[in-house]
Amino acid sequence: MKPSSVLIPDAQLDLRGTPCPINFVRTKLRLEKMPLGGLLEVWLDAGEPIEQVPDSLTMAGYQVEQITDCTDYFSLLVRRPITGQ
């Protein structure tokens, strides 16, 4: 059996309480400052933020690696691509 790999983010961004589309804009700006291939953990509220931000990031060319339901919020792991952005 293959051991599960643990993704360790290079940075974290707490956007709980931040409305759409500001949370997407802040996430994108933070990713642009990260090194190519960098992994960002973003904390988002339930509802509109977790429904829209991952899709918006994917359409913008970022790789959504994992979404975790942490009961009171969602943890989103998103990677800046090695090429492009």
Q: What share of the chain is helix, strand, coil (3-state, %, to 5)?
A: 30, 25, 45
Q: What is the pLDDT of residues 19-66, one digit of tens each?
A: 999 999 999 999 999 999 999 999 999 999 999 999 999 999 999 999
Rounded to whole angstroms, how far apart are CA atoms 42 and 19? 14
Assigned CATH for 11-76: 3.30.110.40
pTM above 0.85, yes or no: yes
| Domains of the chain, residue spans | 11-76
